[in-house]
């Protein structure tokens, strides 16, 4: 498998929304480094170049999903009066602090994890069949 693939896999399989951006950035950095290396020695295969393009597109979609999720949940938390299980949010101004307190309900987390795992399997099988 490609050197950058482990970072990509970690981003795709991440289930904690508060860590998602960090994982995406690490994957993008590894992919960009590989693109740089390929540009210097004109190496790599057409399959790897396609896998890189697919991975960058996938990371972009993942980032947009994470942004949408965080905006929706931060807005919901800001409307909270503090009388629920998340505690009093009225005094928390930092959006990242709000995000660190968020978690998906158990069923939604299980569904999300399953979907991400299926996406990972699909990407893995696609890469293996094209190599």
What value does the mean pLDDT take over residues 96-104? 45
Question: Which domain covers residue 68, as residue numbers?
Answer: 5-130
- Residues 1-53 have pLDDT tens digits of 899 999 999 999 988 888 889 999 999 999 999 999 999 988 889 999 999 99
Distance, CA of 125 to CA of 131 (rounded, Å) = 10
Helix residue ranges per DSSP H, the chain: 5-13, 17-41, 46-78, 95-100, 106-130
What pLDDT, on the 0 to 100 scale, is given for residue 53? 94
Which of 99, 10, 12, 1 shows the shortest CA–CA distance to 61? 12
Which of 9, 22, 17, 16 shows the shortest CA–CA distance to 58? 9
Can you spell out the DSSP letters for 19-38? HHHHHHHHHHHHHHHHHHHH
Asked if pLDDT for residue 99 goes beyond 50, the answer is no
* In the chain, % of residues over pLDDT 70: 56
What pLDDT, on the 0 to 100 scale, is given for residue 128? 60
What value does the mean pLDDT take over residues 75-82? 64
pTM for the model? 0.61
Greater model confidence, 83 or 67: 67
Domain count, the chain: 1
Do residues 62 and 12 lie in contact, with contact meaning Cβ atoms separated by under 8 Å?
yes
């Amino acid at each position: 498998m490609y050197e950058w693939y482990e970072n990509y896999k970690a981003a795709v399989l991440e289930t904690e929304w508060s860590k998602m951006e960090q994982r995406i950035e690490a994957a993008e950095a590894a992919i960009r480094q590989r693109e740089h290396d390929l540009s210097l020695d004109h190496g790599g295969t057409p399959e790897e170049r396609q896998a890189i393009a697919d991975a960058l597109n996938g990371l972009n979609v993942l980032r947009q999903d994470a942004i949408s999720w965080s905006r929706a949940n931060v807005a919901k938390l800001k409307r909270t009066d503090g009388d629920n299980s998340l505690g009093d949010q009225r005094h928390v101004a930092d959006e990242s602090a709000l995000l660190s307190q968020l978690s998906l309900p158990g069923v939604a987390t299980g569904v999300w994890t399953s979907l991400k795992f299926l996406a990972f399997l699909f990407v893995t099988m696609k890469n293996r069949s094209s190599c």
